[in-house]
Amino acid sequence: MSNPHPLSVWARNVSPSPTLAIDAKAKAMIAAGEPVCSFAAGEPDFDTPDFIKEAAIAALRAGKTKYAPTPGIEPLRAAVAERYAAEYGYKVAPTQVVVSPGGKYSCFIGLQAVVSPGDEVLIPAPYWVSYPEMVKLCGGVPVKLPTDDRGGFKITPAQLEAAVTPRTRVLIFNSPSNPTGVVYGRAEIEAIAAVCVRRNLYILSDEMYEHLIYDGKTPTCMATLGSEVEKRTITVAGFSKTYSMTGWRLGTLVARPDIAKAAGELQSQMSSNATTFGQYGALAALKEKDKARESLAAMKAAFDRRRKLMHAGLNAIPGITCLLAEGAFYLMPNISSFGLSSDDFCARLLEQEKVATVAGSGFGAEGYMRLSYATSDETIKEGLARLARFCKGLKK
Ligand code: PLP
């Protein structure tokens, strides 16, 4: 009898998401009665607005419980197309929209549509943990472009240009960024897009946090920067962050017709449609604009206040420095002065002070950690006091 074959190369090579793991651990500790301050969450701490829930409940009652067209129900695809036209002047046909089971899945089918085995995909670091894993699952080769806080966590056009080889196919671009919260300005994005056009790269533009931008800044939709950029850009967004719908699993992908068609066909074999009645909730989010604007404004105001609170608190701790990022709901302080690896620092912080954070290592950002401020002001104040005590102990 021979031994069973080993697991596949995909199963052996994938690293599970460290952010989901730490979030699950923090939630389990809280459930066990431990006084954890968690800054690990990658999701708004607000509930989904009632009008969205009601629309989904009505759809459920109306029997919207069957398979739907794979790329999404027609009215939702049309509403997504309308919102791009209204918000950015980006005119797309509903057939260029794919509604998927989450923004994460939109990224994956977007990459699968354009990445073949051996293709190189450029990923600015710090990056969202899933990008390199998704590239590997496509058989591609992730190539990381390092940045640091001194450079505002932004890649430069020259850095991008220098990283391109004959095998490079895609740049993954994410602004506002998870994990840094950094938002690129329009001129900076134009300069990056120009390199992608010149070097014939696709751009996976992950605009998941487009509506969570502060200080009066406005988002830039990559695909609107000219026809050459439009035809090579796959735009990913979704409902998770803007409408506090993370558990609903609803994302969008917008791209050139052939790419959108390919992404829909990949989805048809791997997951089929996103939950049918959930899509009616998403439709309400896009159609009932006043209610949506109101709930978003309330959430943004809370995030903005907490962002400033956390930023000031972090910078008041000797040994920590932190940029005031302008988007999403994360800050990425520099903890390198303590001389510990980010894994050690975060593990000890959780152990000793019951403060959950995510180590920079998983984001390609050794020497940093990620804190989410999608939590209450009280948790931020208490967590920062514990962090300060922890850091003081390390400095002794
Ligand atoms: N892109 C980025 C940068 C994210 O941070 C996330 C979620 O954390 C996603 C995509 C995926 O969002 P979803 O929950 O819709 O899959």
Please give the distance, rounded to the nearest whole angstrom, from the Cα atom of residue 396 to the centre of ligand 1.
Answer: 39
**What is the CA(261)–ligand 1 centre distance, in A?**
22
Same domain, 20 and 65: no
Ligand 1 within 6 A of 240 CB?
Answer: yes
pLDDT tens string 16-50: 777 777 878 888 888 899 999 999 988 899 999 99
Nearest to 115 by CA among 145, 144, 137, 143: 137
Distance CA 391, CA 318 (A): 8
* 124 pocket-lining for ligand 1 (C-beta < 6 Å): no
Tell me: pLDDT of 118 over 70: yes
The residue with greater pLDDT, 2 or 11, is 11
Instruction: Evaluate: CB of 174 within 6 angstroms of ligand 1.
Output: yes
Beta carbon of 128 within 6 Å of any ligand 1 atom: yes
Instruction: Check pLDDT > 90 for residue 395.
Output: no
Please name the residue whose Cα sits nearest to atom 5 of ligand 1.
178
Instruction: Please give the pLDDT value at position 25.
Output: 83
The answer on 209 and 187 residing in a single domain is yes
Domain of residue 204, CATH code:
3.40.640.10
Same domain, 24 and 154: no
Does the Cβ of 208 fall within 6 Å of ligand 1? yes
Specify if 273 maps to a domain.
yes
Domain membership of residue 148 as a residue range: 51-288
Residues 361 and 309 in one domain: yes
Residues 349 and 368 in one domain: yes
Q: Is 181 in the pocket of ligand 1 (CB under 6 A)?
A: no
Among 23, 108, 222, 240, the mutation site with the greatest number of ligand 1 atoms within 8 A of its Cβ is 240
Residue ending a domain, among 255, 288, 321, is: 288
Give the position, in ligand 1's atom list, of the atom nearest the Cα of 246. Answer: 14
Confidence category of residue 158, pLDDT binned at 50, 70, 90? very high
- 42 and 166 co-located in one domain: no
CA 230 – ligand 1 centroid, Å = 22
Backbone angles phi, psi at 191, to 5 degrees: -65, -35
Q: Domain for residue 253, yes or no?
A: yes
CATH of the domain at 299: 3.90.1150.10
Final residue of a domain: which of 288, 308, 340?
Answer: 288
Q: What is the mean pLDDT of residues 342-370?
A: 95
**Do 133 and 246 share a domain, yes or no?**
yes
The count of structural domains within the chain is 2
Single pTM value for the model: 0.96
In a domain, 244, yes or no: yes
CB of 370 closer than 6 angstroms to any ligand 1 atom: no
Residue from 204, 241, 358 whose mutation best tests the ligand 1 pocket (most atoms within 8 A of CB): 241
Question: What's the rounded mean pLDDT across residues 183-196?
Answer: 98
In a domain, 2, yes or no: no
From 48, 104, 253, give the residue whose CB has the most ligand 1 atoms within 8 Å, as the site to mutate. Answer: 104
Report the chain's mean pLDDT, rounded to a whole number.
96
User: DSSP of 296-323, one letter per residue?
Assistant: HHHHHHHHHHHHHHHHHHHHTSTT-B--
Pocket-testing residue among 43, 111, 130, 329, ligand 1, by greatest number of atoms within 8 A of Cβ: 130
pLDDT above 80: residue 245: yes
pLDDT in tens, 295-330: 999 999 999 999 999 999 999 999 999 999 999 999
Q: Is 124 exposed, middle or buried (0-12, 13-18, 19+ CB in 10 A)?
A: buried
| Closest atom of ligand 1 to CA, residue 174 | 3
Categorize the per-residue pLDDT at 396 as very low, low, confident or very high, splitting at 50, 70 and 90.
Answer: low
CA of 201 to the centre of ligand 1 (A): 23
4 assigned to some structural domain: no
1 within a domain of the structure (yes/no): no
Please say whether the beta carbons of 257 and 93 come within 8 A: yes
Note whether 210 and 112 are same-domain residues. yes
Q: How many helices (H) and strands (E) in the chain?
A: 14, 12
> What pLDDT is recorded for position 3?
82
Contact status, residue 13 vs residue 136, Cβ threshold 8 Å: yes
CB–CB of 42/22 below 8 Å? no
Pocket flag, ligand 1, residue 178 (CB < 6 Å): yes
Residue 339 pLDDT more than 90?
yes
Express each pLDDT in 128-149 by its tens digit: 999 999 999 999 999 999 999 9
Chosen domain end from 288, 318, 338: 288
Neighbours of 197 (CB within 10 A): 16
Nearest protein Cα to ligand 1, atom 1: 208
Q: Is residue 3 part of a domain?
A: no
Q: What is the band of 344 on the pLDDT scale with cuts at 50, 70, 90?
A: very high
Question: In this predicted model, which residue has the larger pLDDT, 268 or 15?
Answer: 268
- In this structure, of 12-26, 36-50, 89-103, 168-182, the range with the lowest mean pLDDT score is 12-26
> Percentage of the chain with pLDDT > 70?
99
